[in-house]
Amino acid sequence: MVWSKFMPSEWANVRGGLDLHLDFDPAGHGRRAGLERALRAAIRDGRLAPGTRLPPTRVLAGELGVARGTVTAAYDQLVAEGYLSARRGAGTVIADVPVPAGNRAERQTRAVPPVPPVRHDLMPGRPDVSAFPVQAWLRAARAVLPRVETAAFAIGDPRGRPELRSALAEYLGRTRGVITDHDSIVITSGFMQALGLIARVLHDRGCAAIAMEDPCVPFHREVVRRAGPGVVPLAVDEIGASSDVPADIGAVVLTPAHQAGLGVVLGPTRRRALIDWAVSTGGILVEDDYDGELCYDRQPPGALQGVAPEHVVYAGTASKTLGPAVRLGWLVLPSRLVDAVAEAKFYADAQTESIGQLVLAELIRGHDYDRHVRAQRLKYRRRRDELLRRLARDVPEVRVRGAAVGVQLLLELPAAGPTEDEVVRLAAGRGVRIVGMRAAWHDDRPTRPGGIAVGYATPAAHAWSDALDALIDVLRTAVSAHAPGLRRRGSSTGGVGGNGVRRPERGA
């Protein structure tokens, strides 16, 4: 459909097949000249891209309320000038015209800063999106969409589709020990929105400050701050987050299954102490089940929520298992918070898109989701084991911290060796993308221990070997530059397991 300043009253009944905005004003120019000027301007501005097919002359004439001969003459003139190309049976299309230097599209392109080339993306916390279960997703979509009621395509319950909430209640109870039903679940557009919603609701209820692990994911702190509460650091050591919660704290955000900074698992004594804090004070534990489905060498501990459902907000997401572009997360809420969070969700964006919810519910019900998670778990474990073997063999000066969980490792650099900034810069110069630990701390005191967070899930299968070789070469080069001051150390050092991972004391 053509939109212009000159539009006949019957424009809505014309079926041109193409929406087209033209600044067409025949006054002072004449209809043919006015149409030529409007088309030239759209092509020069880049609003009509090369290859765009224009409406047939008869259709455009009807929409603009001009004679068909007027449109034909305008097209012929622009063909002669090189703006359009016309072939019998193929219609009239925009020609490949050089774009003038001052047009809007080029100015926008020039404003974008150049991005250094990245050959190997080893950023932490990211899954292998090349393994997205496309065929299973398509099967689920074909199965569920034809039978879904029409109301599913309209605005609905801000808590999300009942199909997905019911499927999640069953799945989370079976795999993570979560105690809930569909009425206590709110579907969100990922963990960031989930964290922002709960922080906003708690702030509205008088929560002035929220404790967050130190270290933690940096932008999660900013999400909480922008929602209203202040952020107070909560120390983390080899057995997880401290249970000494500062005074005047209304909630604590935790990653008990796999601490997002140091990679440790929250020990049982700390779990009990933090739950006791929530029960005795009326505070809320926000459980980010970070990597809870990706545990490799042991049965993962059940969710905190299963111990104290009325004192724990459980947050999960499909970002690690399927991919962050799916934009589906969920909150399992204490009964006292369900209505408030649902209201906050409604005013945030009304609801999370429904189609993906319906498809994910079908994936869970048909157990395709379980099969995909198990396959990814096996693949990531093999990659992790291979990375550990290469580190122990080729760069034994670099130590590994954390439990066998998730899609990343924390590499501890030797004290007399390179700084994390030196390693990150060297890696960037060789097209390897990694990140240092410094930003994860709540402050930048120089006494903070450094380290390199390396993801091993992101490279697709065909690129994994090259990415691993490149990483080892970067680490070896960086360490070799400081070789005179280093003492080589192997995996037999006290307190470190045979795979090079520092292990917490049993029963901690």
Q: What is the pLDDT of residue 446?
A: 72
Whether 373-485 and 2-106 are alike in CATH topology: the answer is no
Length of the chain counted residue by residue:
508
Cis-peptide, bond into residue 215, ω within 30° of zero: yes
d(CA 126, CA 62): 53
- What CATH code would you report for 2-106? 1.10.10.10
- Kindly report, residue by residue over 3-37, the tens digit of the pLDDT: 444 443 333 334 445 677 777 777 666 888 888 88
Q: Which two tokens stand for residue 59?
A: 């259709």
Q: What is the pLDDT of residue 115?
A: 58
Segment (H or E) for 276? helix 268-281
Sheet hosting strand 399-401, strand order edge to edge: 399-401, 408-412, 452-455, 435-436
Q: Which of 182, 172, 157 is nearest to 352 (CA)?
A: 157
d(CA 456, CA 468): 8
Place of tokens 């917490």: 504
- What CATH code would you report for 129-370? 3.40.640.10
Q: What is the pLDDT of residue 279?
A: 96
Q: Which two tokens stand for residue 177?
A: 């020990």
Q: What is the DSSP string of 186-204?
A: EEESSHHHHHHHHHHHHHH
Of 59-73, 138-152, 376-390, 473-487, least confident by mean pLDDT is 473-487
Q: Which two tokens stand for residue 87?
A: 């072939």
- Say what the pTM is: 0.82
Give the start-to-end residue ranges of the domains of the chain: 2-106, 129-370, 373-485
Task: List strand residue ranges (DSSP E) for 73-225, in order.
Answer: 84-87, 91-94, 120-121, 185-188, 209-214
- Kindly report, residue by residue over 185-214, the tens digit of the pLDDT: 999 999 999 999 999 999 999 999 999 999
What does the mean pLDDT of the chain come to?
Answer: 87
Instruction: Give Cα 226 distance to the centre of its chain.
Output: 19
Task: List strand residue ranges (DSSP E) for 122-190, in order.
Answer: 185-188
d(CA 198, CA 204): 10
Place of tokens 């080339």: 117
Model confidence at 382, pLDDT cuts 50, 70, 90, reads: very high
β-strands 408-412, 399-401 pairing: antiparallel
d(CA 286, CA 215): 16
Task: List strand residue ranges (DSSP E) for 275-357, in order.
Answer: 284-288, 312-317, 329-332
Residue 328: what are its φ and ψ, rounded to 5°? -130, 125
Cβ atoms of 440 and 217 within 8 Å: the answer is yes
Topology adopted by domain 373-485:
Aspartate Aminotransferase, domain 1 (3.90.1150)
- Kindly report, residue by residue over 106-161, the tens digit of the pLDDT: 445 455 556 568 899 999 999 999 999 999 999 999 999 999 999 999 999 999 99
